């Protein structure tokens, strides 16, 4: 008779983990000893590359297809992660969309899409992860410094959704405190990813630091929030943007 392999000592689920910040967080958590499940929407090739890098370094990882605008997909991804790696210790909610447009040109369907992914999807991911999380676990959302100040025409709806995430995190800390689960929000400024590649020069010119951030810098902060040293921090939003909002 073959026995069931034991679950890893600790597991993490990264919603939106196939590229950019999410991929960097998944790889960093794997180096910290977590088995990592990551979700993707439309780029299985990118997700497979992240999984391959983690496995090549001796870690455990799987990729799961899940649209963060779809409640069933979010729930199924969380359930599948637990099926593979056991109860969650860490959940990172990184999935999000940006669509910029001035007020008089902003389509209602775009407004609805951003709310569905950036607010509703974040809430559902937190809810589903918390159901499957060990007491003493860690939930981390990836917001944006636009929740503090955007300063770019057309970013109003995106900024609104990220301000909603910051408020949600602050208040959900009370719901999760009895289980000793912490929840915190990272608010990156411009980070060098495929999303920002088209306007990096403008961003660098406006940045007090005269540079953009790297996904690995966000991942380092996420790793801290996921660790034992951050057990007394909850309900906070930490801005990481080189002084952009000062």
Could you say which of 18, 68, 144, 237 is catalytic?
144
Say if residues 208 and 199 touch (Cβ distance below 8 Å): no
The DSSP letter of residue 237 is E
Gap between the Cα atoms of 88 and 103, Å rounded: 41
The owner of tokens 């959940």 is 91
Q: Among this protein's residues, is 11 annotated catalytic?
A: no
**Which of 162, 224, 232, 237 does the annotation list as catalytic?**
162
Cα 230 from Cα 8, distance rounded (Å): 22
CB atoms within 10 A of CB 137: 24
Q: Which of 158, 197, 224, 231 is catalytic?
A: 158
* Cβ-based neighbour number of residue 242 at 10 Å: 21
Residue 162 designated active-site: yes
The 182-188 sheet, strands edge to edge? 61-65, 35-40, 11-15, 88-93, 133-142, 182-188, 237-240
The Cα–Cα gap between 241 and 213 comes to 7
Tell me the β-bridge partners of 38. Answer: 14, 63
* Residue 158 bears catalytic tag: yes
Which residues are designated catalytic? Answer: 144, 158, 162
């Amino acid at each position: 008779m073959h026995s069931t392999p034991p679950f890893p000592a600790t597991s993490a689920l990264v919603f939106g983990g196939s590229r950019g910040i999410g991929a960097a967080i998944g790889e960093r958590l794997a180096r910290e000893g977590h088995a990592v499940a990551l979700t993707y929407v439309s780029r299985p090739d990118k997700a497979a590359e992240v999984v391959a890098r983690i496995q090549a370094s001796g870690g455990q990882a799987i990729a799961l297809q899940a649209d963060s605008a779809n409640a069933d997909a979010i729930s199924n991804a969380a359930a599948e992660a637990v099926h593979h790696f056991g109860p969650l210790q860490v959940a990172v909610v990184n999935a999000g969309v940006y669509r910029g447009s001035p007020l008089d040109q902003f389509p209602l369907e775009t407004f609805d899409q951003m709310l569905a992914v950036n607010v509703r999807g974040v809430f559902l991911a937190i809810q589903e992860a918390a159901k499957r999380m060990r007491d003493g676990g860690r939930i981390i959302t990836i917001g944006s410094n636009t929740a503090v100040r955007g300063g770019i025409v057309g970013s109003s709806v995106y900024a609104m959704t990220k301000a909603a995430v910051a408020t949600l995190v602050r208040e959900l800390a009370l719901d999760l405190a009895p289980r000793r689960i912490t929840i915190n929000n990272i608010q990156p400024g411009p980070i060098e990813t495929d999303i920002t590649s088209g306007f990096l020069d403008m961003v660098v010119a406006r940045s007090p630091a005269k540079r953009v951030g790297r996904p690995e810098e966000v991942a380092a902060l996420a790793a801290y929030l996921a660790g034992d040293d951050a057990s007394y921090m909850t309900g906070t939003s930490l801005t990481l943007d080189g002084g952009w909002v000062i």
